[in-house]
Amino acid sequence: MSGMQSWNTTTVATSPGNAPGNAPGPAPGPAFALLGTVQMALIFTLTSLVVPLPRIGREFSLDRDDLILLSAAYGLTFSGLLLFGGRVADRFGGRRALTAGLLVFTTASVAALLAPSPQTLLAARFAQGAGAALTAPAAMAVLRAVFPQPAAYGRAMATWGGLSVLGATAGNLLSGVISALVSWRLALGVPVAVATLALTLAPRLLPETPAGTGRSLDLPGALLATTAITLAGYGLVLTDAHPWGSAAVLTPLLTGVALLLGFLIAERRAHDPLLPLEFLRDRRRALALAAIALTAAGTATTFVLLSLHLQQDRGWSALQTSAAFVPFAVALLVSGRVAGTLITRHGASAVTTSGLAVAATGLALLAITGLAPNDPYAYGLLPGLLLLPAGAAAGFAGAAVLATDGVEPQQTGLAGGVMNTAMELGPTVVLAALLTAGSDTTSLAATAIAFFAAAFLNTRSR
């Protein structure tokens, strides 16, 4: 990659806070812990309404379309504004952008927590997504300043890669438990607490990051990208309630696709584009982004399908369903913990490939035995619920390293925006596609095949 400082992905170790050669400044360990907690909170917020959504619908007397929009609102603005958020972080400095994003996110989270009406809650979720879109890429820009050496930054990314999957799982699990025992509103207090803590500690723990002077914000490109991604995402979300050929789906979906094509044409002609297209031309980076999208989609799809299966087909309560996913969370933690060591010994590409293959095996087992209504949990669901997260966490960690390998420091916000966009759009696209699969078994089997295909392509690129 011409003009970029690259590093050897086979030298990544496990402890990002103990990297030799870090520049003097705030201690990297606490800084990483703070940034990682923020990243987990952003993804926690994305999934925090999934399980309690029926309760919210009963409380506010919402129909299916209203619930779909409420569930998707955060993700729509989050994914739609991420590229622009990355450019803001690169233009004005990571810590400054992080602070601004956290202020928006905190204010919106308080509004969601106290929302007296569904309209207020919906507006607050949209605003939360906007704040998150500025915060997520800015956090990665600050992370680069905490670990300025390429190898140290790679070690950090090996751990960072598993945090988002863990945050999504925590959102699904904890929101179900909290809503069952107390109230769904209490789950919305988690992002308020994390964001407030981050705003308090950021000046002491996080280093200043330089602004990218002389760079424009590419507002036309930002408008096209945001509108395109938001409309296309909304169209895909509506496939849960409307046929693919309906005007409700096709109008936003096709408009979004047309605007996306317009964005790509405009970026080719822009003097300082929001998304330089050469950024995606690196084959390994493109495959890594695909792996990130796929692992996010696979875990989200599995959680949705199995949650419905356990509650609707087996008659389990929300609390029992959450408990069934505890081994899933434990496997994520363990795999994320050892992913850095594996990347050190075998390289990021090998770990990504192996992780995808293990996750695919877990999905295949769930498709074969996990959805049978009478199979015992211990050998029907449990094997797949252990293999899928173990592989997904390792694959995501390796892909995160590959996606940021060789990225110039002044493009770290861009890299964060692109990575998070892949992570947000993956579940939306895959879930919409699988709604037409005809059965949960077919859906899981199709996702497993996609994992195996991604593992094969990654092997061919090494």
Reported as a single tens digit per residue, the pLDDT across 116-140 is: 999 999 999 999 999 999 999 999 9
- Ranges assigned E (strand) in 48-126: none
Percentage above 90 pLDDT, the chain: 28
> What is the predicted pLDDT for the residue at 290?
87
Query: Is residue 198 pLDDT above 90, yes or no?
Result: yes
Residues whose CB falls within 8 Å of the CB of residue 99, separated by 6 or more in sequence, listed in order: 199, 202
> What is the predicted pLDDT for the residue at 14?
37
> What is the predicted pLDDT for the residue at 291?
87
> What is the predicted pLDDT for the residue at 96?
93
Cα–Cα distance for residue pair 348/14, rounded to 1 Å: 13
User: What is the overall mean pLDDT for the chain?
Assistant: 82
Cα–Cα distance for residue pair 235/402, rounded to 1 Å: 31
> What is the predicted pLDDT for the residue at 27?
67
The closest of 199, 305, 229, 236 to 69, measured between CA atoms, is 236
Distances (CA, A) of 119 to 63, 108, 184, 311: 13, 13, 17, 29
Cα–Cα distance for residue pair 259/17, rounded to 1 Å: 42
> What is the predicted pLDDT for the residue at 16?
43
> What is the predicted pLDDT for the residue at 420?
85
3 state DSSP class of 455: helix
Confidence of residue 12 (pLDDT cuts 50, 70, 90): very low
Confidence of residue 313 (pLDDT cuts 50, 70, 90): confident
Q: Which of 225-234, 315-324, 441-450 has the lowest mean pLDDT?
A: 441-450
Q: Between these two residues, 103 and 184, which has the higher pLDDT value?
A: 103
3 state DSSP class of 407: coil
Q: Between these two residues, 52 and 21, which has the higher pLDDT value?
A: 52
Cβ pair 354, 394 in contact under 8 A: yes
Rg (CA), the chain: 21
> What is the predicted pLDDT for the residue at 231?
92
Query: Is residue 251 pLDDT above 50, yes or no?
Result: yes
> What is the predicted pLDDT for the residue at 438?
54
Query: Is residue 8 pLDDT above 60, yes or no?
Result: no
Residues whose CB falls within 8 Å of the CB of residue 57, separated by 6 or more in sequence, listed in order: 63, 66, 67
Query: Is residue 194 pLDDT above 90, yes or no?
Result: yes
Residues whose CB falls within 8 Å of the CB of residue 361, separated by 6 or more in sequence, listed in order: 387, 391, 448
Tell me the pLDDT tens digit for each residue of 361-397: 888 888 887 676 677 888 888 998 999 999 998 998 8
Cα–Cα distance for residue pair 447/301, rounded to 1 Å: 9
Query: Is residue 81 pLDDT above 80, yes or no?
Result: yes
